[in-house]
Structure 1
Amino acid sequence: MSTHSFRSKRATIRGSIPSKKSARRMVPYAGLLKRAYIYLLEHDPSVLSYEAQPFSLSYQVGTRIAQYTPDFRVIWKQERPRLVSCAYQACISERSSLAQWTAAQLWCAQHEHDFALVTEETLRPHHALLINLEMLAVHSFSPVPPQTYDYVIKVISSIDGPFSPTELVQRTPQLHAFQTKSLIWNLVYRGELLTDLTQPLHFHTTALIWKGTQSTPQPSPPELP
């Protein structure tokens, strides 16, 4: 399927994603690029916070004044704040887009910010990670009874070395298998269970490590734009 066809059929997808880093409890998105970038912002530990559509900029086009609203403003731990715009590769050379991004770059230069453009090409190195994050996010905000959490963590802490999700299900007979599975993905999303999220997750073969017994650093995903 061509990029143009993909964009025309799916760019209007809308929704919202629960957030732990935005002032909004639910962050709205319009289009697959924005949705993917929100997942990466939520996952990246170097991101302190972010805003979707933080403010509008005024800029001149001929004799009229136009408005442009960046898609995100991102606050990092060790980098300057960044304005981010999401656009498909086929659209980046359009005259109207170039004028908007020039206005954003000028604002950034005056306010000690950086500017980044996110396309499907810049997200391509994160493909496997994004598939995992979208799956894990389904389980990430499911309520977990304290007694269930304590029971599972006690079992996890008794395991010496890596284990698979299937093994943990077998070691928690007091819970329904589906309940344990959902809690496992919840703990992975929250970073309490560690695994290489740049590789496809599999219930039988994925190796998990409890953060309390981590002995080796996890591989880092490609740098976030």
Structure 2
Amino acid sequence: MSMKRKPPTDNVRRVISLGNNFRGVTTNKRDRLVQFESEQERKLILLLERDPSVVDYVSQPETLIFSDGKGRQRRYTPDFQVWRVNGKIELHEVTVQSRRESHESLHEREAAAQLICQERGWQYVVHTDQTLPSDWEYASLDFLSAFRTQCYADIESANWWLEKLKGRGQIHPKLVLSQLEPGMKVNVLITSLYYMLWHGEIEMNWRQPFFWQGDFHLGASIWLPEGGER
């Protein structure tokens, strides 16, 4: 007898295999297991991870029941539920714009979800492949997400970066690293930079190439955010 794998805690179902869809499980900022069943959903996860206004989020949070235009009962499970630091709660859906435009049933379920959220005092948010990150932004998010955890935070390295960037404006990372003092470890400084970029302590242009063939892109630049000097 085959055994069905249970979904993560607080998920009402497992993600669906459509044959060639990009799906998996990851751990979010609150050490909660989160599912995704498309590359677009994973892009949203990366954005939620970076967003400091997001306290927590869960995938496949609940199944909404509503009636369609013909009076038939329908069931719909949004992709994510999000909790904000200001106490607001949101349901998020990820879809493909072309599919959204061509399927009337998607408009009906969106309208139903909007109404349910309005009654609860929540917000309903729809993301598409046209609004989610792509190209260089997605590449940088994907790479830097590996350095988002606290183990890559280093106080000495962080202070070094902040001191070297003070009053410099936009500058290439290698020009800053050329000022390395004896005894400092380049690898620790670089992973610390990645951590700080992810958390917005140092800024970069996310929509321009930053990495190229295992190194910083020639056009990469970093700078302190406004008011970011300690």
Does 1:129 find its partner at 2:143? no
The 1-side partners of 2:20 and 2:113 are apart by: 23
The one-letter amino acid paired with 1:108 is C
Deviation at 1:134, TM superposition (A): 1.4
Structure 1 counterpart SS, 2:151: coil
**Partners of 1:165 and 1:181 within 8 A in 2:** no
Deviation at 1:120, TM superposition (A): 1.0
Deviation at 1:78, TM superposition (A): 6.2
Deviation at 1:117, TM superposition (A): 1.9
Residues 1:158 and 1:107: Cα distance change in structure 2 (over 3 Å): closer
Question: Which residue does the alignment assign to 2:147?
Answer: 139
Does 1:180 find its partner at 2:189? yes
The one-letter amino acid paired with 1:97 is L
**Partners of 2:66 and 2:74 within 8 A in 1:** yes
Superimposed CA distance per residue, residues 86-125 of structure 1 (whole angstroms, 9 cap, x where no aligned partner): 111232132443343233122123212232221112226x
The one-letter amino acid paired with 1:27 is V
The 2-side partners of 1:116 and 1:157 are apart by: 36
Picking from 220, 223, 230, the partner of 1:206 is 220
Superimposed CA distance per residue, residues 47-83 of structure 1 (whole angstroms, 9 cap, x where no aligned partner): 3433322211122456764321111223345695332
The one-letter amino acid paired with 1:41 is L
Does 1:33 find its partner at 2:40? yes
Picking from 117, 123, 137, the partner of 1:114 is 123
| TM-score of the two chains, using structure 2 as the length reference | 0.69
Deviation at 1:213, TM superposition (A): 6.7
Gaps of 5+ in 2: 1-17
Question: Which residue does the alignment assign to 2:158?
Answer: 153
Question: Which residue does the alignment assign to 1:223?
Answer: none
**Partners of 2:145 and 2:198 within 8 A in 1:** yes
The count of residues paired between Structure 1 and Structure 2 equals: 201
The 2-side partners of 1:26 and 1:111 are apart by: 25
| TM-score of the two chains, using structure 1 as the length reference | 0.70
Range with greater deviation from structure 2 (172-181 or 31-40): 172-181
Range with greater deviation from structure 2 (111-120 or 31-40): 111-120
Superimposed CA distance per residue, residues 19-50 of structure 1 (whole angstroms, 9 cap, x where no aligned partner): 22xx5534221101111111112223443433
Structure 2 counterpart SS, 1:200: coil
Residues 1:206 and 1:105: Cα distance change in structure 2 (over 3 Å): same
